[in-house]
Structure 1
């Protein structure tokens, strides 16, 4: 979803520099007094003049297909692993993403496909500089450049998530007429080739709160009866970027390329694991192709309720300094939890590699 655009074409952080590839800028006494982000280089901007061409179809081979199933470069004697749930979610310590070889990154793709969400602790990823961060993410596919959200000057690959006392993008986007702010979505699923292995790294985080909810669309599909699964297979749904673009325009923000709508299978197959998964989300899935309005609304409401209420195939991703979360956008949906006081800052960055055209079941 698009963050607030209340400060368009501006980077209010007093220091904007990269020294030897390290994006963190030491804060002096004046900066601390002004309460600026720890990593002002990544403060979001919204440039109304920035425009992107339409995204072209590309060939994609998932790096997980090349991986050694034993994962010797990723999981070794120094690696500590804790599974959060049987269906998805694993915490990993003792390995640095920044130091992985190409083989190790292939294994990371496979592991994230298998576990859906992997939380890497104590990472130096935020300090290795934007060029290296982007190079690592590009191992998994071309990086999606968001058409409306805040990004980094000169680096449109970064999708910046930012909230502080003056910026409350989730409430701005969803409005105040809700009793909760859970908003399940799969990032930019309207793309013709939606994302796969996605990276999200924390720069500033409140002491408590600000977690991310994730759920497994594989397990959500598995819970359905065989007859209902058969009925869903072959159906397609429209995923739309139009409401997101309209919201940005309403707020005076950018629309960097024309909003797209794509038809995707309601049940897709993962190219590496072969697992079937639902591929619907309330954020972007608008209607079922070939159904009349009432039929489409009824089916989508059932599926949205099903995934939202399945707490036994949900997990809560928590953040600590140095946390990097990698998730497979093809087989999960997630939601922010803006449950922390507005006086706290939450600042994070997403890199979103795109993958194959969804494979129907």
Structure 2
């Protein structure tokens, strides 16, 4: 999936991309229609609450909730999180299989599907149809999207440009997060695929927030269940407002309060729900108290190698994960090679996080 590049061209949205000198970018790059654009006049009203019904609920009633994998080769990647699947064509799954898929991803955290040419080479309208089955599609307030398809979130970096949310003043660009956790109803089952990737590197790493929680002492977990934390999108908006990442803000930034420990609506599993990128403070605590707890939890997530799995982007790979029970980060170890990393994320929203402690009030 690597590309050889020798010249630079500009496509709509002021993105600088690499191209061969003898061919326009639209001819030499198959996925030019998925380049990110940033339209300065694109604005959306605040998101409104909606009722979410997770498809995994229906799969619980199936006699064999994993029957969609009957003819597949399934490899467990690590005991706590992750599996790889070969022999399932995502583009041909019926509704029953999609229900089972949602349950499988909830149970394993992340599922890597190989050999998905049909899915990836589908038109963008098909991506939207796929995503809407799992929830209301989210329009990202600051990231790039393909022209005419604001519901598709794009990750993009090449030798000249980066339109990712990268904090270059740190010793590492690895930042654990659960996507847009600052929304009132953050994402559940999420789909990502790369249409261009470096020859090596550029992997995505995931961690099981179920397992990171289980590693803590029961007494400490009991305290965490009583806590609420603020998740904020203001810093991400300020990053774009400064002119980076395309420099657009499509929706006014928000912050919301979520439980520090949440419960999955289908599996009932409890998981830690804080992340360095968007969690800001624990409600009701003084700054030093909040920082002490959150920094301990962030360090715990960073260091828990035995809760993590690293996904390598073979050609035509589609990765699905459940944002409610995982955190993840791109690994930017390929920057000096100047290769292109170009991905499409389909991001359905789910329910407002359910507190693990019954009766914990979030308002």
Change (3 A) 1:142 1:43: same
CA distance in 1, matches of 2:63, 2:24: 48
Structure 1 residues 13 and 283: alpha-carbon distance in aligned structure 2, compared to 1, 3 A threshold: closer
Contact kept, 8 Å, 1:163 with 1:345, in 2: the verdict is yes
Q: CA offset at residue 342 of structure 1?
A: 3.6
- Residue matched to 2:97: 104
Task: Give the match for residue 237 of structure 1.
Answer: 229
Change (3 A) 1:8 1:250: farther
In structure 2, list runs of 5 or more residues that go unmatched.
1-9, 357-363
Matches within 5 A, 1:91-170: 91-123=84-116, 124-169=118-163
Contact 1:9 1:48 survives alignment (8 Å): no
TM-score by length of 2: 0.89
1:20 match: none
Name the count of aligned residue pairs.
341
1:333 aligns with 2:327: yes
Which residue of 1 is the match for residue 78 of structure 2? 85
> Which deviations, in whole Å up to 9, do the C-alpha atoms of 1:243-302 show, x marking residues without a partner?
000110101611111100000000000011100000000000000000000000000000
Distance 1:87 1:212 in 2: 17
- SS of 1:52's equivalent in the other structure is coil
Number of the residue aligned with 2:184:
192
**Could you say if the C-alpha distance between residues 233 and 322 of structure 1 is closer, same or farther in structure 2, counting changes exceeding 3 Å?**
same
Q: Find out whether 1:44 has 2:39 as its counterpart.
A: no
Match of 2:45 in 1: 53
Task: Flag the 1:335–1:12 CA change in 2: closer, same or farther, 3 A.
Answer: closer
Aligned equivalents of 1:230 and 1:167: distance in 2? 46
Give the secondary-structure state (helix, strand or coil) at the position aligned to 2:176: coil
**CA RMSD after TM alignment:** 2.2
1:9 equivalent among 10, 13, 26:
13
Q: Does residue 56 of structure 2 align to residue 64 of structure 1?
A: yes
1-structure distance, mates of 2:277, 2:80: 23
1:215 corresponds to 2:185: no
Match of 2:344?
Answer: 349
Aligned to 1:306: 300
Residue 205, structure 1, aligned to residue 209, structure 2: no
Q: CA distance change for structure 1 residues 86 and 69 in 2, over 3 Å: closer, same or farther?
A: farther
Partner secondary structure for residue 148 of structure 1: coil
- Within 2, Cα distance between the matches of 1:187 and 1:103? 27
SS class of match (1:194): coil
Q: Deviations over 1:318-347 (max 9, x none)?
A: 111110000000111001101114421111
The alpha carbon displacement at 1:71 in A equals: 3.1
1:53: Cα distance to partner?
1.1
Structure 1 residues 112 and 28, CA gap change in structure 2 (3 angstroms): farther
Distance in 2, matches of 1:39 and 1:85, equals 33
